[in-house]
Amino acid sequence: MNIIEDLKAYNTVINGELDSLLSGKDDDLNLIADSMRYSVQNGGKRIRPYLVLKFSELGGLDSFNKGALAFACALEMIHTYSLIHDDLPCMDNDDLRRGKPTNHKVFGEATATLAGDALLTLAFEVVSAAETTDKAKIKAVNALSELAGWKGMVGGQIMDLEGEKRKLTDREFTKMNALKTGALLRCTARLGLAAAVCDDEQTCKDADEYCACIGRAFQIRDDILDVTANQAELGKPVGSDAKNGKTTVLSYMSLDKAQALAAELTEKAAAAIEKYGKTGKELSEFAVFLLNRRK
């Protein structure tokens, strides 16, 4: 499978659905709507919605099932809100995101904060209106609430901020990555399989193992790229982790050891999922693609 071409094909559908969901117009609310659209439409690989759709197919649904697509877009809205807030001066204070000025640089800190809030709440509106069963919607709400909340992504972010004040222990660092990056990636499997009403215990376990492994490998790769890539490749300033005094994987091990650990985690991810037919093989190949990415 050509991963790049597959991502492009899926992104065409995902981006079209996101545009539709954000197309509402109210002349009194143009500022907040423009701020929301600015960040959602600012590119990105759409890894999370892509994985939601792939897991829905692994669970037996046709490609681009409407319910699964709604869940996928909801997760991308939550991911985007987290990036808007992460870039704020009170967090990472970044000026660039995906090669363009960050939301608060264009719209101001107050509007950017509210745009993130609005995307978070819109995600649950989208889930509640999805063309799928009530059971699937309840599972999706549960997954999003748990894995994007204080026991998931938000918890990881607070541990990340703590890591700017002191070096986290190895246990804390591993947990921080599992929450900050891994939680939303684990959510992709939960949402995709929920849309497919797939309750098979082993399938759910293997999907979670795959996502947990690629989540940890993804963050390791991010830490590596922050010191090895250039700004043109990343679309954001490099070296920001060191500038902010953050604890990263390179605080614990050499670059070579970090790369080896990411490769080991990728192999574990592939082993967990490749047995699930065509989609399992595609997900296995996708894990390798993430390992080798340059941005």
Q: What is the DSSP letter of 249?
A: G
Query: How confident is the model over 210-253, as pLDDT tens digits?
Result: 999 999 999 999 999 988 866 565 555 655 665 666 788 998 99
Contact 207/58 with Cβ under 8 angstroms? yes
Sign of CA dihedral 106, 13, 205, 135: positive
Distance set, CA 20 to CA 14, 23, 24, 40, 131 (Å): 10, 5, 8, 12, 15
Where is 57: in which H helix or E strand?
helix 47-58
The DSSP 8-state label assigned to residue 250 in this structure reads: G
Alpha carbon of 202 to those of 31, 61, 214: distances in Å? 47, 18, 18
SS3 49: helix
* Rounded distance between C-alpha atoms, residue 96 and residue 8, angstroms: 23
pLDDT score at 246: 74
Do the beta carbons of residue 240 and residue 226 sit within 8 Å?
yes
pTM: 0.93
Q: Cα separation of 56 and 167, whole Å?
A: 39
- Check: CB of residue 270 under 8 Å from CB of residue 287: yes
- Give the bridge partners for 101, in sequence order: 96
Domains of the chain in start order, with CATH, are 3-289 (1.10.600.10)
Report which DSSP code applies to 161. H
pLDDT at 231: 59
In whole angstroms, give the CA distance from residue 42 to residue 71. 20
Eight-state DSSP code of residue 94: -
Q: Which residue has the tokens 């959510």?
A: 187
Low-confidence ranges of the chain (pLDDT < 50): none
**pLDDT at site 294:** 80
What contacts 200, CB < 8 A, 6 or more positions away? Answer: none
pLDDT number for residue 295: 78
Q: Are residues 88 and 112 in contact, defined by beta-carbon separation less than 8 angstroms? A: yes
Distance CA(162)–CA(167), nearest Å, equals 8
DSSP class of residue 28 equals: G
- φ/ψ bin of 102: left (φ > 0), alpha (ψ from -120 to 50), beta (otherwise): beta
